[in-house]
Amino acid sequence: MEEWRGVQYAPAAGTVLCKLADIPAEGGREVVLGEGEYSFRIVLVYSSGGVRAFHNRCPHVHIPLNYEPDVFHVFDGGILMCAHHGAMFRIETGECFDGPCETSRLTVIPVTVRGDSVVVT
């Protein structure tokens, strides 16, 4: 079992996260499951391979990658930056290649597009 699946409020397989049209072409979409400090946050972004989803939790200090809801720093369609400490992640893999958490990675949430919705697999 993937470790994230055991976290409180983590989505089960088959959970619809959002409509595909809700993800901006540039930037990202945040989906928050649950409430309070233990909510499970997911960031959805486009990549050359389609939609990618990650646990919205920087591996550096374990806080969300964004300051404001749905405001994500995405560059050249392939790089996602943590707004707090400037860590840079490759969207294709989630790998941090620059910044305070270099060589660590974001946790991938496997998703697929079914019809017009993004669904956890």
- pLDDT tier for residue 49 given thresholds of 50, 70 and 90: confident
Whole-model pTM: value is: 0.94
The answer to whether residue 93 scores a pLDDT higher than 70 is: yes
Mean pLDDT value across residues 32-58: 93
Superfamily of segment(s) 3-120: Rieske [2Fe-2S] iron-sulphur domain (2.102.10.10)
Strand order in the sheet with 73-75: 73-75, 79-81, 88-90, 96-98
pLDDT at 56: 97
pLDDT at 108: 97
pLDDT at 37: 82
Residue pLDDT, tens place only, 99-111: 998 889 999 999 9
Where do the structural domains in the chain lie, given as residue ranges? 3-120
Residue 3, both tokens: 């470790």
Please say whether the beta carbons of 89 and 96 come within 8 A. Answer: yes
